[in-house]
Amino acid sequence: MVDITQKQSTHRTAIAQAVVKVSRQETIKAIQIGKVPKGDVFSMSKAAGFLGVKKTADLLPDCHPLPVEHCAIDFTIDGLEITVEVMVQTFYKTGVEVEAMHGASVVALNMYDMLKPIDKGVEIHHIKLLKKTGGKSDIHNG
Residues with active-site annotation: 113
Q: Does 71 bind its own copies (CB under 8 A)?
A: yes
Instruction: Give the nearest distance from C-beta 35 to its own copies in angstroms.
Output: 14
Q: Does 60 bind its own copies (CB under 8 A)?
A: yes
The residue range among 22-30, 67-75, 77-85 that interacts with its own copies, by the rule CB under 8 A, is: 67-75
User: How many Å apart are CA 111 and CA 93, to the nearest integer?
Assistant: 32
What's the full length of the chain, in residues? 142
Cβ-in-10-Å burial (0-12, 13-18, 19+) of 2 comes to exposed
User: How many Å apart are CA 89 and CA 68, to the nearest integer?
Assistant: 6
What is the distance between the terminal CA atoms of the chain, rounded to a whole angstrom?
30
Residues in contact with its own copies by CB under 8 A are 1-5, 11, 38-40, 43-44, 46-48, 50-52, 54-55, 57-72, 89-93, 97-98, 101-102, 105-106, 108-110, 112-114, 116-117, 120, 123-128, 137, 139
